[in-house]
Amino acid sequence: MRYFRKIVGERLYLSPFSADDSEICTQWARWMNDRTVADHFGGHHQLVSLAGAKKPLEELKGYRFAMVLLDGDTLIGQISLHDIDHVHRNAFLGIVIGEEKHRGKGYGAEAIRLILDYGFHTLNLHSVMLSVPADNPAGIACYKKVGFREAGRRREWVFKNGKYVDKIYMDMLAREFGEVGPSP
């Protein structure tokens, strides 16, 4: 696949993609079959085939981007603004960094800042929300670093690894992003 540098940051860029892209589908299937990745989606019990990987990518309504490193054009994940409500000007954010070697290096925070800047300043969104399992401290720390705040929680909402885990909802308003800014 040829990537397009739609939204460019310091170390990575966001490239629009289609569910017809075989590399994205192959990587998505691989990532969703990795227990560490799938656990954060509450889906470690699911088997994801190549054909099965295409379906959620096709059904996602919104703005989907491949996360690609500037150095080497390496695909490391995907990020999206989806379930957009243009009347109320809100959306949900989703992000996956597929390879363990790329986690914990600040790529997620950079990609989130880039897509929030796009969402608030180009799409004119007012609010962006996400959900995260309470047992994902790295994800929660990343979201807080970028400026998300806890907005609510569903107690014992996800069952995984023999126990129930809370699902935390976090959000950010456009004016709060202005306080944090688009860069670290």
Point out the residues that are catalytic.
Answer: 143
Q: Which residues contact 143 (CB under 8 A, 6 or more apart)?
A: 112, 130, 132, 170
Query: Is residue 143 within 8 Å of 130, Cβ to Cβ?
Result: yes
Quick one: three-class SS letters along 65-88?
EEEEECCCCCEEEEEEEEEEECCC
Structure tokens that stand for 115 in this block:
């897509």
